[in-house]
Amino acid sequence: MTTHTILVTGGSGFVGSHVILQLLAAGHNVRTTVRNLAREPQVRATLEKAGADTSRLSFFAADLEKDDGWAEAVAGCDYVQHVASPFPQSQPEDEQELIRPAVDGTLRVLRAAHAAGVKRAVVTSSFAAIGYGHGNRSGDYSEADWTDVNGPAVQPYMKSKTLAERAAWDFVAAGGKGLELAVVNPVGIFGPALNDDLSTSIWLVKSMIEGKMPGLPDLWFGVVDVRDVASLQIEAMTHADASGERFLAVAGPAMSIPQMADVLRANLGAAGARITRRRIPSWLVRIMAIFNPMAREAAPRLGIQSNASNAKARKLLGWQPRSNEEAILASAKSLIELGLVQNQ
């Protein structure tokens, strides 16, 4: 196997950490960016606890909203995995708080990669750049679809991911000659947490197990395991046919929150005893949306089952993801093993 030098942006995050774990396990030299190098010991400790040999891992300070540090971080790299992007648990009042770092940060990374002679960059986008702004449309989505940022109920995060991915493709088409680009578009990312810095999807599982979700709304999500997102990112980095392509990362058909609760309750034994069976009627969520910001975000998506296809990644790259159930249970079991579930 050829050893490469690879920059992973956002190495302290959920996806970034798993990408680093798999790259190190494959024998590569890995660099990662953090906004403050004071985080290096914590990130190393997390990766080492997960079984990584971090002797081939180095850290660089770089911020998506600043030019400093990016040229140094990418110098001498063969590939770049641009994973970093803000993902809040609640939407900001000013959408530019998300859009600006997502778009400008992506362009900063790509400009630095292009100037350094990097062969290919893989950008972590999202289903948020594919399946929104189409009204009350349930149905199937593929890589040919794009979110309409001017469509109904498109929130700032969806805009940020769509505009950032558009900017990436435009950069390579217009001025990034010599830099190849591939994009991975995950749905809701579950799988094993590595520490207490939890993603939004894992918080959902944690809330259910702890009995802090009083009822289960009729909301549907695509599901994918973070380990499979990482493997797809790496396959898209080196596979000859991946350049110029985007790939949906999804395990199977969308699942509703009640279905997720059923999976957890059926498989966790006593640890799942506090998961509610109560359904929240959609009409009640819509009333709650008048005064509750979280309900207001959820209301436009009630009952909408958007299925994403993984056919392209399977056929072109031979990608074989874990099932929805495996991904969700891996989230729960990791929370329990890490002692992050209260009152167990």
Residue 275 pLDDT level (bands cut at 50, 70, 90):
very high
Does residue 101 register a pLDDT over 90? no
Per the structure block, which two tokens stand in for 96?
Answer: 């530019």
Q: Read off the pLDDT band of 97 (50, 70, 90).
A: confident
Helix, coil or strand: residue 112: helix
Residue 337 in contact with residue 263, Cβ under 8 Å?
Answer: no
Cα(203)–Cα(10) distance, rounded to whole angstroms? 19
Q: pLDDT band for 261, please (50, 70, 90 cuts).
A: very high
34 backbone dihedrals φ, ψ, rounded to 5°: -135, 155
Domains along the chain with CATH numbers? 5-337 (3.40.50.720)
Give the span between the Cα atoms of 310 and 60, in whole angstroms. 34
State the catalytic residues: 161
For 30-85, the DSSP string reads EEEEES-GGGHHHHHHHHHHTT--GGGEEEEE--TT--TTHHHHHTT-SEEEE---
**pLDDT, tens digit, 9 for 90 and up, residues 57-90:** 999 999 998 999 999 999 999 999 999 876 655 6
- Which of 153-157, 229-233, 295-299 has the weakest average pLDDT? 295-299
- Average pLDDT score, the chain: 91
The whole-number pLDDT of residue 1 equals 64
Which amino acid makes up residue 335?
L
Q: How far apart are CA 15 and CA 228, in angstroms?
A: 10
pLDDT band at 129 (very low <50, low <70, confident <90, very high): very high
Say if strands 29-34 and 180-186 run parallel, antiparallel, or are unpaired: unpaired
Name the amino acid, one letter, at 218.
Answer: D
Contact 226, 195 (CB under 8 A): no
- pLDDT bin (cut points 50, 70, 90) of residue 137 is low
Q: Which two tokens stand for residue 186?
A: 């995950």
Alpha carbons 265 and 261: distance in angstroms, whole number = 6
Per-residue pLDDT band for 155 (boundaries 50, 70, 90) equals: confident
pLDDT (tens digit per residue) in 234-260? 999 999 999 999 999 999 999 999 999
Q: pLDDT tens digits for 14-35? A: 999 999 999 999 999 999 999 8
Instruction: Indicate the SS3 state at residue 191.
Output: coil
Q: Provide the pLDDT confidence category of residue 92 given band limits of 50, 70 and 90.
A: low
Q: How far apart are the first and last CA of the chain?
A: 45
CA distance 198 to 204: 10
pLDDT band at 151 (very low <50, low <70, confident <90, very high): confident
Contact 232, 123 (CB under 8 A): no
Note the pLDDT of residue 225: 98
